[in-house]
A = this chain, B = another copy of it.
Amino acid sequence: MSELLAPDACAPAPGGRGAPASNRQVMPAPSLQATRDAREIAWRLAAPETRTVQCRRGDILLRSGTRFEGLHVIRAGCCKLVVTSPDGAEHIASFALPGEVIGLEALASGVHDTTVHALEPLSCWQIPAERIDALLRHDGVFAQTLVHAFSLDAGRSLRGMLMLGTMTAHQRVASFLLDLADRYHRLGFSGHAFELRMTRADIGSHLGLSTETVSRVLSRLRTEGLAISSGRSIRLLDRTALARILLHGD
């Protein structure tokens, strides 16, 4: 699989204007001793059948209601997965980062339940639908890895529902920031400072809050000295205190 380890042909030119924390996310190569995580999953799922799909910021990678044509593994970039309710309200189920698998929910029904928007230039591997059944039947490692990806996704969903079901606005935002920081850190970036790829409205939609409430909470975190947000730049000053918000009601 040496070609899979080839230098990042699809990565954009680095360092736009020397941003404070240039966490343009490109998936690092897997390390042998790594525990099985999102990174490794992506590399293991990569098979000769894999195609590469790219799109630009603002583009729609997948549309809810369309036929399932394959799983996508994010190689570089960030996107949002949007679900639409019967009354037209939109909810962002999750933001997906490099190494994560998209389209899992469509495998059973054959139809996508989410619309996926690229929040920045996006590069994915696609595993064609018509290959998946055969791979599952004959490639045990593929099956194990796919099941593992599913299990990680299920755990994320549980935490997401816990957040939406029980937390206050402050807890939700703190939880969101800590989660992002952790995921960036796992990808090899700073866990303290990073660039948000989404708008306040996106964050609100994900957390079940209004744009204004997100903005207010971020302001309050600044006055409390826990996290500084300036536009899309975020810097976490006191991770311990942020985690403490999750422990106490407020």
Contact = CB atoms under 8 A, between A and B. Distances in A.
A100 B135 CA distance: 24
**Total identical chains:** 2
Interface string A142-158: 01101110111111011
A138 B150 CA distance: 19
Nearest to A138: B140
Contacts of A171: 87
A237 to B, nearest CB: 20
A164 B167 contact: no
Interface in A48-101: 83, 85-87, 89-91, 93
B150 A154 contact: yes
Contacts of A148: 107-108
A157 to B, nearest CB: 4
Contacts of A240: none
Q: Is the interface of A mostly helix, strand, loop or mixed?
A: helix
A147 B153 contact: no
Interface stretch (A15-23, A193-201, A241-249): A241-249
Interface string A162-173: 111111000100
A148 B137 CA distance: 13
A143 B137 CA distance: 7
Given A36-B108, A138-B140, A154-B150, A165 B162 contact: no
